[in-house]
Amino acid sequence: MTIELSHSPNVTDLVERTRHLVDEIVLPVETAHRGSGHDAPDSVRRALQTAAKDAGVFAPHVSAEFGGLGLNMRDRAPVFEAAGHSVFGPLALNCAAPDEGNMHLLEVVATEQQKQKFLAPLAAGDTRSCFAMTEPSPGAGADPSALSTAATKTSAGWLINGSKWFITGANGAGFAIVMARTSGEPGSRGGATMFLVDTDTPGFKHVRDIDTLDISMFGGHSELLFNNLEVGDDAVLGEVDKGFEYAQVRLGPARMTHCMRWLGAARRAADIAIERAATRKAFGGRLGELGMVQQMIADNEIDIEASRALILKACWDLDTGAPSAQITSIAKTFVAEAVNRIVDRSLQVCGALGVSGDAPLALIYREVRPFRIYDGPSETHRWAIAKRVIRERQRTS
C-alpha cells in the first residue's frame, strides 16, 4: 500500500498560520509564565485560545460538527508539531493532553446526550478535563489491569471508591473520565468501566498537586480521592466492563499526538543549537566548524526525520483502520527517546547558556524527560513489542 507523505495546501497553510501564532503570540506568553504552567491562571488559557480561534487554527482534531477543523491523524502531525514549538502552543489550539485524547474518546464512544454535555464545551474551550486511571501502588500504572478503584452498582446508579494520582490537568478541570473496576479483581484483564464525572460531585476530592520534574502542563498532575462518589447510570461512558477496550481507542492516537507535540519542542531545541553553532566563536573559529558539534547537529536532524517518518506511518495505519498497536508502541518508544536525545545534544552544544534561564532549553529538557514514562514507559512498550513479535512467530511456525 502506498503511503502519501505530502499534505494538501489547506494543511500546509494551517501549519504556517500555527507557526505564526506560536511565534508572535504564544512564545511571549510562555516567557512570561516560564516555570509556572502548572499554576497559570485560566485567563491565560482562554486568551491563547481566543487568539487561536481568531487565527483559524483552533481545535484542528475535532470534527466540524463540534466546531473543529476535522483533520485526520496524518494531517494533524505537522500542525501539532508546529504547535509544540512552545509548551503552551497545544494549549492555545486546544489540542493539549489530556483534553485532546478525551475529545477523541468522546467522539467515538459517548452518547449524543453525553457529547452535548461534555464534548461540546470541551471542544469549544469552555472547560477542561482529565483522565483518571493511574493509581498509587499497588494500583494501576504501567499495568492497567492492576486497577483497584471500585464502582459498586446501587439502585440509584454507581458508588465509586478509590484513589488516583498523577492525573494530568485535574486541578481546575470541569469533569473527569474515571476508570473504575466493576467486575473481577485487581490483576484481571477485564472488568473496567469508564464514568463521566463532574469534578464538583460530592465525594470527588482533589487531595494535592504533585511536585514533578515537568512544570508547564496546564493544571499540573494531581492526586484525587473518591469517597462514596455517587453517579447515575447515565454517567457510564460506553458499556459496563468495556473500559479497557475503550482505553485503546484513546491511547493509540493519544500516543501519536504526544509524539507530534514533543517533536515540535525538539525541533525548537535543535534550531537553537544550530543558531548557537553558526554564531558562537571559540577555539579560533565558530562552534559549527568543530567536528563533534557537527556530529551532534547531524544526529539531531537524523532523529527528527526518523521520528516524523514513524509518526506518519503510525498515523496512516490509524487513519486506514489497519492494526496499529505495534507501530504506535514502536513510534512512541523511538520518538520519546529521540526527543530526549535531541534536546540533550542541543543543550550540550549551547553549554552554559543551555542550562541557564536565558534560553528555553532547560525548560524544554524538564518537559520532555517524563515523556519516556508517560503513556507507557519505554520498557513496557519494548516488552509488548517483543511479545507481539514472538507470538506472531509462534503462530506461523
Instruction: Please give the grid coordinates belonging to residue 385.
Output: 513489542
CB atoms within 10 A of CB 283: 8
Q: Does 3 map to a domain?
A: no
Percent of the chain at pLDDT > 90 equals: 92
φ, ψ dihedrals at 278, nearest 5°: -80, -20
Check whether residue 84 and residue 168 sit in a common domain: no
CATH number of the domain where residue 202 is located: 2.40.110.10
Mean of pLDDT values over 257-269: 98
For all residues of the chain together, what is the average pLDDT? 96
Check whether residue 139 and residue 86 sit in a common domain: no
In tens, the pLDDT along 55-89 reads 999 999 999 999 999 999 999 999 999 999 999 99
Quote the pLDDT of residue 242. Answer: 97
Quote the pLDDT of residue 34. Answer: 79
Q: Does 363 map to a domain?
A: yes
pLDDT value at 164 more than 70: yes
Q: Model pTM?
A: 0.95
344, 362 Cβ separation under 8 angstroms: no
181 SS3 class: strand
Check whether residue 377 and residue 333 sit in a common domain: yes
pLDDT value at 191 more than 80: yes
Check whether residue 168 and residue 25 sit in a common domain: no
Quote the pLDDT of residue 5. Answer: 78
Check whether residue 362 and residue 384 sit in a common domain: yes
pLDDT value at 37 more than 90: no
Q: Does 2 map to a domain?
A: no
Q: In terms of C-beta distances under 8 Å and separation of at least 24 residues, what long-range contacts does 203-206 make, across chains too? A: 203/160, 203/227, 203/228, 203/229, 203/230, 204/176, 204/229, 206/170, 206/171
Check whether residue 266 and residue 321 sit in a common domain: yes
Q: Does 336 map to a domain?
A: yes
Q: Does 73 map to a domain?
A: yes
Domain boundary among 42, 77, 96: 96
Distances (CA, A) of 13 to 16, 18, 20, 75, 78: 5, 9, 11, 12, 11
pLDDT value at 266 more than 90: yes
Mean of pLDDT values over 19-44: 89
Mean of pLDDT values over 93-116: 98
- The two most distant CA atoms of the chain are separated, in Å, by 80
Q: Give the chain's domain count.
A: 3
pLDDT value at 36 more than 90: no
pLDDT value at 47 more than 70: yes
Check whether residue 257 and residue 286 sit in a common domain: yes
pLDDT value at 397 more than 90: no
Quote the pLDDT of residue 35. Answer: 66
Domain boundary among 96, 116, 142: 96
Q: Does 312 map to a domain?
A: yes
Instruction: Please give the grid coordinates belonging to residue 333.
Output: 518508544
Quote the pLDDT of residue 305. Answer: 98
Domain extent at residue 301: 244-396
Q: State which amino acid sits at residue 378.
A: S
pLDDT value at 320 more than 70: yes
Alpha helix positions (H), 56-209: 73-83, 89-92, 99-109, 112-114, 120-124
Which of 151, 142, 148, 204 shows the shortest CA–CA distance to 173? 204
Q: Does 197 map to a domain?
A: yes
Which residue in this structure is represented by grid cell 508517560? 374
Check whether residue 268 and residue 381 sit in a common domain: yes
Mean of pLDDT values over 108-113: 98
**pLDDT band at 20, cuts 50/70/90?**
very high
Q: Does 118 map to a domain?
A: no
CATH number of the domain where residue 59 is located: 1.10.540.10
161, 202 Cβ separation under 8 angstroms: no
Mean of pLDDT values over 168-195: 96
32-46, 113-127, 160-174, 200-214: segment of lowest average pLDDT: 32-46
pLDDT value at 250 more than 70: yes
pLDDT value at 255 more than 90: yes
pLDDT value at 2 more than 80: no
Check whether residue 214 and residue 263 sit in a common domain: no
Quote the pLDDT of residue 28. Answer: 96
